[in-house]
Structure 1
Amino acid sequence: MLEGTIIKALSGFYYVNDGQQQIQCRARGVFRKRGLSPLVGDHVGYEAKKPTDGYILSIQKRKNELKRPPIANIDQAILVFSVAEPAFDSQLLDRFLVQMEAQNIDPLICLTKWDLLSQVEAEAMRLRVDTYARIGYPVVITSSMNNEGLDALRNQMENRISVITGQSGVGKSTLLNHLNQSLSIDTQAISQSLGRGKHTTRHVELMPIGVNGYVADTPGFSSLELPDITVTELEHCFPEFDGYRDHCRFRGCTHIAEPDCMVKEAISEKKIDQKRYAHYQVFFNEINQRKKY
């Protein structure tokens, strides 16, 4: 049995790269009986009599998995958000960060369209960016127009499988075209009436970037459901709570209404960002509401 990695899934076919060639495969029916579907990023065993007629026979254990986009074995997630057109959406960014924390996937925040900001706007945005840098999230500021930050981002993608995702219309495809000019990914302008971009990516595919790096471009979207986690798990998706939660008066403190909560005290002392905490409250309530249905 041969082995390789699925680098593209399209119309029921899976394209497996074994390091030398790409094989077009179908999945055996046994996977459907198990309720299991091969994903881009899966390490698989397969057989093939010719490059266009292969069958996937086995799927190795995954280290992680995302449902949206459907991809497995990711080393890092590059969360692309624009600072203008569309406007920076910090609550949506925090949703993505919770998703990645819950899946144990290292996130990298990439901010695009920096050239659209005035000097005053840029200074204000840097203050917001610093909030995430202090927590420990790597942040790369880019401008495809000015080629700013592209080398730094490319270096972060070397020797890794990355998924690049984020809100529609933030310039993900344009960014990838600048990182690897041979990709020629379709791009479209922002819809002025809706204030968001049109989806230009229709399938998940791993594409080469830099030295031994691969990246999956994925359809953009403007909303994101929280992962299927409990409220207890949610607080662990906010790393800035570390160092405070263990000193709360009550064990199992949710940091919402309990007295003598050290997390809330840290917020009042501005040691924890108030806007991030407000998003935590929103997510907490969403998870509680979801349990009722």
Structure 2
Amino acid sequence: MSKLRIAVQKSGRLNQDSMQILKDIGISIDNGKDQLKASARNFPVEVFYLRNGDIPQYLKDGVVDAAIIGENVLIEKGEGIEVVEKLGFSKCKVSIAVPKDSDATSLKDLNGKKIATSYPETVKKFLIEQGVEAQLHIINGSVEIAPNIGLADGICDIVSSGSTLFKNGLKEIEVLLKSEAVLAISPTLNETRKAILETIKFRIQSVLKGRQSKYVLLNAPNNKLEKIISVLPGMKSPTVLPLAEEGWSSVHSVISKNEFWEVIDELKANGAQGILVCPIEKMVL
């Protein structure tokens, strides 16, 4: 039976998040220490554990059919590779930073200066767009030490929490792009494996929708029911059930995690009581 070959980063946070979402969509993978690939026990998938920077070329060459990879890596090395789903985790920025005592406050202040980076193609394109000329010093590794040892006046690297910049005495002055993990596919993907991918996409979308939502149950006085329902649109409309106590109803609905506290405050202001909030594991639309 044909299997979908999917690449993930072989170590680090992106590896952990990638394996978690595969687990959440019901794909069980046995991976021994230092294994380069592993097959799922219950689904036609084979996982390849690769260096993040090598994955775009494997996709282009058709060695793997799909990958969970940082969007920033695709922008740097994966021209022409299609992204089929944004996954919402492993978020970061690609930013330019300079020493804290530097007079530079924007990219234009680095005109004619040296910038150290592991993302030369991304930086070159951005510099051209901004009309800035700078000399690039390409480093594979700890880019943030370059200004401290006199290699460069600034750096361009990925930034997550900003703690690495802080520890190395750097300040962010420009954000080139924002990135997150994505599901990308090979241009050589055949129809049989594309069908397997569609099943994976459907399951991932259900998990992501669940992560972005909360299930809410509450008690509402009937004389304020209409107003409370207007606050809770849900997927189609809230479920309303009569309570044993006359004049009250139980209301069940789904709300967006991003609007959670605003909605809860409005519900309370309109007389809702006994509000219970539950996480949603998966949400199939």
**TMscore range, shorter length:** under 0.3
Radius of gyration: which is bigger?
2
TM-score w.r.t. the length of structure 1 is 0.24
Bigger share in strand: 2
**Structure having greater relative contact order (Cα 8 Å, sep ≥ 6):** 2
